[in-house]
């Protein structure tokens, strides 16, 4: 059973030539009972990914589904409860 699905997640900071892509088209699923580790070098987007998965920051594009619900389609009250 799928509990988390991330589709084409992108997070961009800045504009123009100062634009930085912290996440670039990230997709994965996590099924019930699986353990996941987020690893990588400094600056690779680990914290950005966790902030987006936790509802603290919004992606530039892409979707995050928790038990089939797109968390960024929730209204602000429900998103706050989710957090």
Rounded CA separation 67/24 (Å): 23
The pLDDT, as a whole number, for residue 56 is 94
Q: Helix (H, G, I), strand (E, B), or coil: what is residue 13? A: strand
The pLDDT, as a whole number, for residue 33 is 96
The string of pLDDT tens digits covering residues 46-82 is 999 999 999 999 999 999 999 999 999 988 898 888 8
Q: Which domains does the chain have, with CATH numbers?
A: 2-82 (3.40.50.300)
Rounded CA separation 4/30 (Å): 5
Predicted TM-score (pTM) of the model is 0.88
Cα distance between the two ends of the chain: 22
Q: What is the mean pLDDT of residues 28-39?
A: 97
Rounded CA separation 65/16 (Å): 30
């Amino acid at each position: 059973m799928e509990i988390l699905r991330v589709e084409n997640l992108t997070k961009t900071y800045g504009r123009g030539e100062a634009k930085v892509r912290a996440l670039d088209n990230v997709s994965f699923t996590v099924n019930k009972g699986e353990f996941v580790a987020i690893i990588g070098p400094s600056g690779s987007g680990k914290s950005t990914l966790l902030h987006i998965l936790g509802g603290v920051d919004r992606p530039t594009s892409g979707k995050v589904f928790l038990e089939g619900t797109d968390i960024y389609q929730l209204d602000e009250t429900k998103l706050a409860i989710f957090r």
